[in-house]
Amino acid sequence: MDETVFVILLLTVGQLIHFPGFCIHSASFPNIYYFFGENKTWEEAVAYCNSEYTGLAQIPDQENAIAMMNTPTWGYTDKAWIGLYKEPSEWTWENGLPFTYSNWGPHQPDNFNATEFCVSMADDGLWADYSCSEMKYAICDRGNFYIPPAQMTWNEARYYCDRYSLLAAVPDETTNSGMQQIMNSKGVKDAWIGLYRNNYWYLSDNGEYASFFKWQPEQPDKPYVEESCAAVVVKDGTWTDEQCSATYPFFCYRIYNSHKIVVRMKFKSKAKLDDPAYSVELKRQLGAAFVNLGMPNIKLTWTKTAVKQTEEGIKDTC
């Protein structure tokens, strides 16, 4: 005997799409952006957007970058704040020791071109910051110091040393002198030590690491303690790092509100739909049908409502 079943589908939806028998939305859509021409500091812009909208503009991907650039700015083409900032980071030893001793060379650290976040020791015992991608020897510490035979980047040195020990920390002058002597005995002019600082940009809404960027060539161009807030150049959509105390117009944003549409379906089946295996298969087939219609991001949930037999036939009890 066929079982008559009423199924309630709950569809979390966004952009409107039509297909026979249904009218639903796609779950893929960008944020909504708003431009404000009043000049504010970055923190003032954050406070305003947080109070009136979702927040200062978050741009997680290219689709949202395009959506923001399509926002009317009424002829304004210069810089405007977006919700991206760099948090000043302290120098940190890779092994977790507190940073209480240093032996910087003259005018160091200088973070040249805002790209130097790893530290190397020279054969005179003085330190300097460098781009972590430079190739150098390294000093590992496994209870005694040793120098691996090949040059590598700072991250490669970190992983190499971690297999057996740690990239060397320098807690005091005695340790620094001992490492200098080892470098001189090996004829090594320059070697990575385990000192670094983070080079991350963060989203202003939740403090998470940003992974999408549209920097202008040679940007960011200043040490992040000087220019640690991001702006978009409205005329071309590229980004620059700026002093947070500067004043610019800004973009706020709202998350596009998704909503649920309830679709009621009635069908007959010989399958025992109280069996979880059949329920899972039904949900899989419905999901596959939406994928075939070009809607892979639909979030689908469903429930089977109770039915009762009446003189008129089967009637939904909901």
Express each pLDDT in 249-260 by its tens digit: 999 998 865 445
DSSP state, residue 208:
P
Confidence of residue 12 (pLDDT cuts 50, 70, 90): very low
Q: What is the pLDDT of residues 146-182, one digit of tens each?
A: 999 999 999 899 888 887 788 999 999 999 999 999 9
Q: What is the pLDDT of residues 79-106, one digit of tens each?
A: 999 999 987 678 989 888 889 999 999 9
pTM for the model stands at: 0.56
Cα–Cα dist 147/35, whole Å: 55
DSSP state, residue 276:
H
Domains and CATH numbers, the chain: 3-23+262-316 (no CATH), 32-84+206-214+225-254 (3.10.100.10), 92-196 (no CATH)
Q: Which long-range contacts (CB under 8 A, 24 or more apart) does 46-52 make?
A: 46/83, 46/204, 48/250, 48/252, 49/83, 49/250, 49/252, 49/253, 52/252
Least confident of 189-203, 205-219, 260-274: 260-274
Contact present, 230 and 84 (Cβ < 8 Å): yes
Query: How far out from the chain centre does Cα 91 lie?
Result: 22
Whether the per-residue pLDDT at 315 is higher than 80: the answer is no
What are the residues whose beta carbons fall under 8 Å from the beta carbon of 48, sequence distance 6 or more?
36, 40, 250, 252
